[in-house]
Structure 1
Amino acid sequence: MKNKDMFKELVDIFQLMDILNKNGFEKEYGKLNINEVHTIDFIGKNTKNNSSEISKYLHITRSGATKIIKKLLEKNYILEYSTPENKKEKYFNLTKAGEDIYKKHLENHKKSQERDSKIFDTFDLNEKKVIHEFLNVLKDDLKKKVEDIK
């Protein structure tokens, strides 16, 4: 198989994943966007998280993170607090609504992993090693490209 044919297959896979994620995402989370849900997920997993930590996690600017935080505060998914030691720095906790989204997100990831990891059962150990190597090379390549566009 030629490289250009494999690349086309990869592009087709990315497009199908994008369609699946968008349609499934809207169905599951309604008016929340992916960055809002991932911010809720980050806050649910981390204590004393601030806008700087959120921006690093999402790979966006701090002002971008601040906009997401503002929306989540307005939608009542998170609460803002500060510590007695540093009243200037703002941290965030989940509200009941935010906790519900956080739990739903964890459950959806668990279900997806259980459902989608079965595809690897069709391969033997040597094939899995090649696939694993390919996925690592692809991930490293994509990380480098993401860094280059920053």
Structure 2
Amino acid sequence: MLHRKQIWYNKAMEKSEHIMAGITDLNNKLLLLRKPIMEKAMSGFSLSEIAYLEYIALHPDANVTRLAAALYMTRGAISKITKKLEQKGMITSYQKPDNKKELYFALTAEGQKIDAVHRQLHQDFIAADQEVFAAFSDCDLTTILRFVEAYNQHLDQDLK
């Protein structure tokens, strides 16, 4: 006969397995549905390049080290993307007067246009999904958000 703790553990494992399967399903479906839309609208740019541009748009004084950490890439991979985006005229590099050693990156006017298209796509996706979110209470959404944040922190620890 199973003890209460074992029964709880088995039920919790079953739910966690369902949650993880659901997250995997969601991710696969989102990629299937949205990747072609993104690729069409962002023709000529890889998903990594778009993520790079987005990070620079949101974080002033972005440098190779910060980009690598934020995008879960090596510094070498960031350097390759940097060269491609500079060649495409999407970013510019600069140094601060007080730090001639470090290179920082900013979006050019063309880079800002691509970022604006990307942001609009995200807004369109959010608007299209709004009926799903509207079906949940604020309390429900807060709980889901708490889970997502906690699980991200757990994964961040594993990545270190």
> TM range, normalised to the smaller chain?
0.7 to 0.9
What is the TM-score normalised by the length of structure 1? 0.79
If the length of structure 2 is used for normalisation, what is the TM-score?
0.75
Alignment-derived partner of residue 63 in structure 1: 76
- Which AA in structure 2 matches 1:121? A
Residue matched to 2:61: 48
Q: How many residues are matched? A: 147
Identify if the C-alpha distance between structure 1 residues 120 and 69 changes in structure 2 by more than 3 Å, giving closer, same or farther: same
Q: Percent identity?
A: 26
Q: Which runs of 5+ in 1 are unaligned?
A: none
The letter of the residue matching 2:40 is K
Q: Provide the alpha-carbon RMSD of the alignment.
A: 2.5
Aligned AA (1:140): A
Return the alpha-carbon distance in structure 1 between the equivalents of residues 133 and 38 of structure 2.
24
Unmatched 5+ stretches in structure 2: 1-13
Classify 1:30/1:7 alpha carbon distance in 2 versus 1 (closer, same or farther; 3 Å). Answer: same
How many angstroms apart in 1 are the aligned matches of 2:45 and 2:70? 18
Superposed CA deviations along residues 25-54 of structure 1, whole A, max 9, x for unmatched, are 211111211221121112222322211121
Structure 2 counterpart of 1:118: 131
Q: Determine the C-alpha separation between the residues in 2 that align with 1:109 and 1:134.
A: 20
Cα shift at 1:97: 1.6
Q: Quick one: structure 1 residues 9 and 79, their matched pair in 2 at CA, closer, same or farther if it must change by over 3 Å? A: closer
